[in-house]
Amino acid sequence: MDHPAAKVLVELADLQDQEVGDGTTSVVIIAAELLRRGNELVKNKIHPTTVMSGFRLAMREAVKYIKNNMVVQVDELGEEVLLNSAKTSMASKILGPESDFFARLAVDAVTSVKTTNSEGKARYPINAVHILKCHGKSALESELVHGFALNNVRASQAMPKVIKGAKIALLDFNLTRHKMQLGVQVRN
């Protein structure tokens, strides 16, 4: 693809699909309109750098407006509104009828990582929610694990599935890839 604007639009659609999984058409329409308006300004002898500075300024002002006038704290919404918001955002091409199940899972996951700072302000660090993918199972078998989960399988079918009273060592380095110092050995 040789046309630079078309290349940008395709990359935007791909990025939106990877990040969100939906909304590619909307992103392309908005970006195409911004490109069209920017092109008109360049044709009217406004330097492209000035146009980009204007777009950046407009973006900052739009984000500031949204934060100041349109953001509602999660604590003020209530669980029903959170569930409906999650259902709306998940009822896309991919999930469809399962959106109720995944909306409940998402709301429970986000509310479980709630932290409160010294001022009493609640935060919901989304990066504290991790998704482990297990291939070969139904999506409806998904579950929320409160705590820490590892996505591992037994190395051999002969290994036991459950061990009671096990001693667990927590290491902050990988034994298989870490090069030991001269004379240091790891024993069972």
Q: What is the pLDDT of residue 41?
A: 94
CA 136 to centroid of chain Cα atoms = 23
pLDDT in tens, 50-98: 999 999 999 999 999 999 999 888 778 888 888 888 888 777 666 677 8
Task: Read off the pTM.
Answer: 0.56
Q: What digits encode the pLDDT tens for the residues 130-177?
A: 888 877 778 888 889 888 777 777 888 888 888 899 888 887 776 665
Tell the burial category of 106 from Cβ atoms under 10 Å away from its Cβ (0-12, 13-18, 19+): buried
What pLDDT shows up at residue 88?
A: 81
Q: Which of 23, 94, 146 is nearest to 102 (CA)?
A: 94
CA dist 103 and 127 (Å) reads 18
Q: Provide the pLDDT for residue 176.
A: 65
Q: Between 1 and 154, where is the model more confident? A: 154
